[in-house]
Amino acid sequence: MNYIFCLVSLLGAFLLFQVQPVISKFILPWFGGSPGVWTMCMLFFQVALFGGYSYAHLLSRRRPLTQAWVHVVLLGLAVALLPIVPGADLKPEGTANPAWRIVLLLLATVGLPYFVLSATSPLVQVWYSRVYPNRTPWRLYALSNAGSLTALLTYPILIEPRWDVVRQAWIWSGAFGVFALLMGACAVGEWRRGSAEAARRLQAEIQVDAMSPKPGALRRLQWVLLPAFASLMLLATTNHVCQDVAVIPFLWVVPLALYLLTFIICFDHPRWYRRAAWAVPAMLAIVLTSGLFEIPWNWTPDFVTELVIYFATLFLVCMVCHGELARLKPGTSHLTEYYLLMSAGGALGGLLVSLVAPLVFTTFMEWSLGLVGGFVLVSWVACRGVMGQRRATTRKLVGAGFAVVAVVALYFVVDWEFLSFGNALARSRSFYGTLRVEAWSDDVEGDSRSLYCSGTEHGRQHLTPEKRRDPLTYYGHESGVGMVLDALKTKSDARVGIIGMGTATVACYAERGQTYRFYEINPDVVSMARKWFTFIDDLEARGANYELAMGDARLSLEHEPPQHFDALLLDAFSGDSVPVHLLTREAFEIYQRHLQPNGVIVVHITNKYLNLAPVVERLAREFGFLTTRQCIDPGELAGHYQPDYLLLSKDAEFIRAHPAVPPVYARALDVPLWTDHAHNLFQILQQR
C-alpha cells in the first residue's frame, strides 16, 4: 500500500500538470494565439482544482466503503470520456469574447479527468494517514509536487519536440487509464485493509476535530490570501512575459514550475524556509524588476536576462508566500480543509487576473500592483525575520531602521507614471492585449500620433494634412511592403489582404478602384484606428475600397471563398509576441488558396527575440515560393524604423527585380516544417 500511495501521488500529479500545456497548446490556434488563452486555461484549472479539493474534503468524511465505490465510479466515467482530443466542431465561430467559450471547451474535453486528478493529492494523503496513523503525510504532498514539477519540466524539453499535440493527447489518455486502475486499487485496497478499523479511525478523527480548538478566522483567511497572492503573481508574470515574446508552452511552464518548486521546498521540511533568508532577496529582486529599464548606467538587458530577473522575482515572492503558508499548516484533522482553502485562494488569484483585471484596468496594472503588494508583504516578513534574530532590547531599533529602508525602496518600486496612465490619449484592454494612443510633437516634423500594443509601436501618422498620407514606422516606401504595394499602384483593380490592422498605415498605398481588405481580431484596434487616425477615411476619400473581416484572420480566410489577392500582408503580431498558428503549413495552405498565381505574400518578421526567417523560408520551399528578404536601413528619415520583411512569390521576375537585402545579424538555420501540432521556438531564439 505504501508503494501504491507513492506511485499514485507521483503519477496523478504528473498527469494533472502535463495536461495543462497539452490542451492549451491544442486550442491556442483556435482563439487567435492570444496570451489570454493560457490565462483562461489557468483559471479553469485552478477552479477545477478547487472543485476537486472540495470533493475530496466532503468524500473523506464518508464511510470507507462509500468513499471507495463513489471514487471508482467517478474514475470509470472519466475513462469513458477519453481521449482528450477536442473535436473540430468545438472550434469557435464569430467575434464574441472567447473567454467563456474556452471554459466550456475545456469542461467538455478535460473537465472530468482533471477534476478526478485534482482530488488525488488530498484523498491519498487522508487515506495514507489512516493506513499509517503514526506517519506524517506531508512528505507525500512534497512528492506530488515533485511529480507536478517533473511534468512541467519534461514537456518543453522532451514531450513537445518529440510528438505533435494529437499524439500527446492520446499518450496522456493512455497514461490516465493506467492511473485510474492504480487509484481504484488504492481506494479498494484502503477499504479492504479493514473497513471497521478505518471507520473507527475516521470516527476518532471527527471526535478529535470536534474537541480540539479549530483554526481561527484569521488563520483561515491567511490560508486563502497567501496562495491567492502567489497565484496572482504567477499569472501576472506569465501575462507580462507572453505579451512581448511569444505565447508558447515554455513561457507557461517555467513560471508554473518555479511556483510548484516553492511548494516542494516549503512543505518538505521547515528547515528550508527562513524568513530573512528569502524575504530580503525578494525585496532586492522586486526593486531590480521595477527599475529594470531605468538603471542609471543605461544597461538594456537582453530578453534572457529579462526572463531570469522576472522569474527570479516570481520565485522569491512565491517562496515567501508559501513559506508563510507552510508555517500555518494544521494537524491532519484539518488537512482537507487546509487544502480546500488553499485551492480557493489559488482560484481567487486566477479570477482577479483573468476576469476582474480586464474589467477594471486598461493596462496590465496587476503586474505593477503585484510588485507593490509583493514588496510590502516581503518587507513585513523580512522585518519579522530580522527582528527575530535580535535581542529584545534592539528589536525596536532594527525594526524602525528596516521600515525606513523599505519605504525608500518602495518609492522606486512604484511606477507612478504607469499607475497614473502617463500622457496617453486613450487606452484599452481586452482578451487580446492592451492598446494605447500617444501624441508626439516635434519642431521639425510637426505633430503626430502613435498606436502601441504593449510596449511596441504599431503605427504612426502625421497630423498635418500634407503629410498624413506618408507611411511611417515599419511601412515606408523603402520597406518590403512598400516595394510590393508601390508595384501595384498601376493596377486599378488590385486586391490586397492585410492580416492585422494596427493604425491601417498600409492604406496609404491604396489607389482609386483598388480594394484593401483588413482582417482584425481585436475590436479595440479597429475603434482606435478609425477614431484617432485617418488612414482609412483617406483611403475611401480617394475612391479605394475598404473591407473589414472581424475575427481571427485564419479562421475567416478558411471559411471565405477565394479572395484573389495580389498581395497578402502578415502583420498580426502583438508586441513582439508571435501568433504561431499564422506561420504553419495549414495556415499557408489557406493563404495560397486566396492568392493570385503571381501574387506576393509579405511576412513582417521584425522581432527582437525570435529569428522567424528560417521558419518562413521553410514554408516557402514547401509550397514552391521563391523568397527575397528585405531589411533596408531608412537612414536619417524621421519616424522610420528598419523593418525586416520576407517576400514570397512564384513570380521569378518580381523576385529578381528585388534582390535580397538581409540584415547584418541574419543567421542561417535549418528548422523543420512548422505545423499546427508541431513547432519549436527554442530553435529560433535570436542570438545577436
What are residue 458's phi and psi, to 5 degrees? -120, 30
Cell numbers linked to 76: 470509470
pLDDT tens across 532-575, in order? Answer: 999 999 999 999 999 999 888 888 898 899 999 999 999 876 55
Q: Apex CA 552: angle with CA 546 and CA 556, to 5°?
A: 65
- Each residue's pLDDT tens digit, 57-82: 788 777 777 777 888 899 899 999 88
Distance CA 316, CA 326 (A): 15
pTM value > 0.75: no
3-state secondary structure 74-85: HHHHHHHCCCCC
pLDDT tier, 295 (very low <50, low <70, confident <90, very high otherwise): very low
| Strand 515-520 relative to strand 545-550, pairing | parallel
pLDDT of residue 587 exceeding 70, the answer is yes
**C-alpha span between 513 and 489 (Å, rounded):** 10
Eight-state DSSP code of residue 30: G
DSSP string, 96-142: S--HHHHHHHHHHHHHHHHHHHHTHHHHHHHHHHHHSTTS-SHHHHH
Rounded CA Rg of the chain: 28
Torsional class of 415: left (φ above 0), alpha (ψ -120 to 50), beta (otherwise): beta
CATH assignment, 1-211: 1.20.1250
- Nearest-CA neighbor of 486 among 460, 514, 457, 464? 514
Task: Give the domain 458-684 fold.
Answer: Rossmann fold (3.40.50)
User: Grid cell 471559411 — which residue?
Assistant: 559
Shortest CA distance to 233 belongs to which of 265, 255, 263, 261? 255
Q: Do residues 32 and 162 touch, judged by C-beta distance below 8 A?
A: no
| Weakest-pLDDT range from 316-325, 435-444, 591-600 | 435-444
Banded pLDDT at 417 (limits 50, 70, 90): very low
pLDDT tens per residue across span 29-62: 777 666 677 778 888 888 888 888 888 878 877 7
- Provide the b/e sequence for 167-204 (b: ≥16 CB within 10 Å): ebbeebbeebeebbebbbebbbebbeeebeebeebbee
Give the Å distances, CA to CA, from 259 to 33, 137, 320. 24, 21, 11
More confident of the two residues 490 and 264: 490
pLDDT at 205: 55
Higher pLDDT, 69 or 96: 69
Among 3-12, 91-100, 412-421, 646-655, the range with the most confident prediction by mean pLDDT is 646-655
Mean of per-residue pLDDT scores for the chain: 81
Domain boundaries, the chain: 1-211, 217-297+306-421, 458-684
